[in-house]
Amino acid sequence: MASIYIDEDIGRDEPTQLGTEASPFKTLQFAYLQHPAQAQYLTRKSASADDEAAKEWKPAAKSAMKKVVNYYEQQKKKASREQELAIRRKGEEDERNKVLEEAKKIVLEEDASLPKPVTIKLDESGDHIKLRKTDDAKGKGTRVRVLGRVHRERKQKDVLFVTLRDGYGFLQVVISGKLAKTYEALTLTRETSMEIFGEMREVPAGARAPLNRELHADFYKIPKHWRAAGGDDAITNRVQASAEHATLLDLRHLTLRGETASSVLLVRDALEFAFNQAYHEARIRKVSPPALVQTQVEGGSTLFKFDYYGADAFLTQSSQLYLETCLPSMGSVYCIEKSFRAEKSLTRRHLSEFTHIEAELDFIDFNDLLDHLEFLICRVIELTMADPIIAEFIKKLNPEFQVPARPFMRMKYSDAIQWLIDHEIPNEEGEPHNFGDDIAEAAERRMTDIINKPIFLTHFPAHIKAFYMKKDPQDSRVTESVDCLMPGVGEIVGGSMRIDDYDELLAACKREGLDPEPYYWYLDQRKYVQFHYPFAD
C-alpha cells in the first residue's frame, strides 16, 4: 500500500497523474476514486511562497476521509447497479432480437374463403356496414378493407390495439393471434400506413372506441415503404407537446399530423363549405378574382411588390374591386381567395397571407348590409355545428364557444368613443379616446367582452377608412361602414357601402394620393354603368 499525495495548488485531477509527491492530485475525492484504501493520503493546501509551514505534507483529516469513503461506496454501488442494468438490458435485447428473427419467418396470407371486403373510409357508417354484436357468438359483422395511418398503438398481453386515422375519422383495430406476432406488428411505429381487412364489431360493454365499434383484423399489409421511422427519428421523439414553439413551427409538416393541428384544418374545411352553402342559399354567385394586380385596395405600405414582365405588380390585398366589376353582369357575388398584407406584426390581426372571404351585394342599403352579415355569420355557424364530428372538434379547440344570439347589438363609432370614455378605457397613449381615433384592438376587445354580445360597430370616420367607402348622407364626417365584434374573439367581419358616383370616387382617389390611371377600369364601372345603388362586402 502506498501513500497518495494531494496538492491543492499544483495538483491535477487527471487519470494520468500518479498520486506521487512529484505527480499529485488536486482533490482528495478524485485521489480516493483513483486509488482507494491506500496506506495514507497526504495533503497540503495552497500557501504564499514565504509560508514554509503550509508546504508540509499532512495526513488528510478524518472528517474529510469519511466523506470521500462514503462517496466512493455510493459510486461503487451505483456502478454495480448500472452494470446489472446493462446486463439485463443486453439479455432483453438479445431475447427481443431472437423474437424478431422468429417473427420474420411468419408470412401472412389472406384467407380466400372469407367474404370479399367492402372498402370504407374510417368514419363511414350506414346499412352497408353491419356490426357483430358483442354477445352474438354466431353472428357476423361486415368484412371491410380500410387504409390509414397509425395514430396510436398499445399492446395488452398478446393483443395489439391500433388506432388508425385517414383524415375522415378514426378506427380502433384489434390485431391478435398470429397477426400480432409478425415482424411488422412487433416493430410497428406511429405514422406507419396500413391496409387492414377484418370484421366490424361492437366494442365490449364498458369499453370505448370511435363510433362505438372496432375492426377485428384477419389480414393486413404493410409494404416496406409504408413503414414510418422509428428510434431517434420516431415522430414522437421529433414532435412533442413540450417542445418550444419555434421548434414546432420548423416541424410544421409533422405537427399537422397531431390531433389539434389537424382538427383546426378540418374545421376550416367545414367553415369554407358552410360559407359556400350559405352564399348559394342567398343566391350569391362565386367568382375567382386574380391574385396578381396593379392597384392597391388598402394602404400602399402593405403591398407586396414584384416585377411582372417589366411592369410593377403586387399581390392582392383584397379582391373587392374585382368583385365589383362582376356585379353588374352576375348580380351579388362572392369569393374565397388569398389576400396578402406586407405588415411585420406579431398580433393575430395582422397576417402576411390569409384566406379572405369577400362579397359585393347590389340593390341594398346600409341596414340591408347589416341584416345580411348577421344572417351570414349565424347561418355559417349553424351549418358548421350541424356536423357532430366538426362540432366536437370545435368543443375541444374552444370549450367556451357559444353560438351567438340574435339580434346583434348595433353601436355607432361615436357612441363607442363615449362608452370608452365613460368606462375609463384609454387609447394606446393612455389618454381618453377622442372622436377620430382609430380604436386599438385591446380597447375594442375589452369593450366587446364587457358588453358580452356581438356588436355591429358602425359609421367610422372617413379619414381612417378606405377611399371607396361611401359617406353617411346625414353626417359627412363618417362612412357607412361596419366592423362586427365578437366577445372573446374581436373583429371578425368588416364592410361598407361603396361610393357610386364617378366624380366623388375620382375625388376620393386624388385625396388619398392615388393615381387614377391604374384604376381606370374601376372608375369605368361608375362612368358606363351609372350605378344608382350602393355596394357592400
pLDDT of residue 64: 92
Q: Tens digits of per-residue pLDDT, 49-92?
A: 556 666 789 999 999 999 999 999 999 999 999 999 999 998 98
Mean pLDDT of 475-482: 95
The pLDDT score that the predictor gives to residue 424 is 93
Strands 285-286 and 292-293: unpaired
Grid coordinates belonging to 348: 393575430
Q: Which pLDDT score, from 0 to 100, does residue 53 have?
A: 63
pLDDT level of residue 488 (50, 70, 90 thresholds): confident
User: Considering the entire predicted model, what is its pTM?
Assistant: 0.78
Q: What is the pLDDT of residues 256-291, one digit of tens each?
A: 999 999 999 999 999 999 999 999 999 999 999 999
- Cα separation of 398 and 388, whole Å? 15
Asked whether the predicted pLDDT for residue 530 surpasses 50, the reply is: no
Q: What is the DSSP string of 401-450?
A: --PPPSSPEEEEHHHHHHHHHHTT---TTSSPP-TT----HHHHHHHHHH
Element (H, E) at 485: strand 481-486
Pick 512 or 173 by higher pLDDT. 173
Query: Is the bond into 454 cis (omega within 30 degrees of 0)?
Result: no
DSSP secondary structure, 13-80, as one string:
--TT---SSSS-BS-HHHHHHHS-S-SEEEEE----TT-SGGGS-EEPPHHHHHHHHHHHHHHHHHHH
Residue 536: per-residue pLDDT = 45
Average pLDDT over residues 5-29: 92
335: β partners: 358
pLDDT at 48 over 60: no
- The pLDDT, as a whole number, for residue 13 is 94
Q: What is the pLDDT of residue 245?
A: 86
Average pLDDT value over all residues in the chain:
91
Where do we find the cell 354477445? 135
pLDDT on residue 92: 87
Q: CB-based burial of residue 244 (10 Å sphere; 0-12 exposed, 13-18 middle, 19+ buried)?
A: exposed
- At residue 54, the pLDDT reads 65
- 210-242 pLDDT, tens digit each: 999 999 999 999 999 999 999 889 998 999 888
How confident is residue 119, by pLDDT bands cut at 50, 70 and 90? very high
> How would residue 41 be classed by pLDDT, with cut points 50, 70 and 90?
very high
Q: What pLDDT digit, counting tens, does each position of 359-397 carry? A: 999 999 999 999 999 999 999 999 999 999 999 999 999
The pLDDT of residue 324 is above 70 = yes
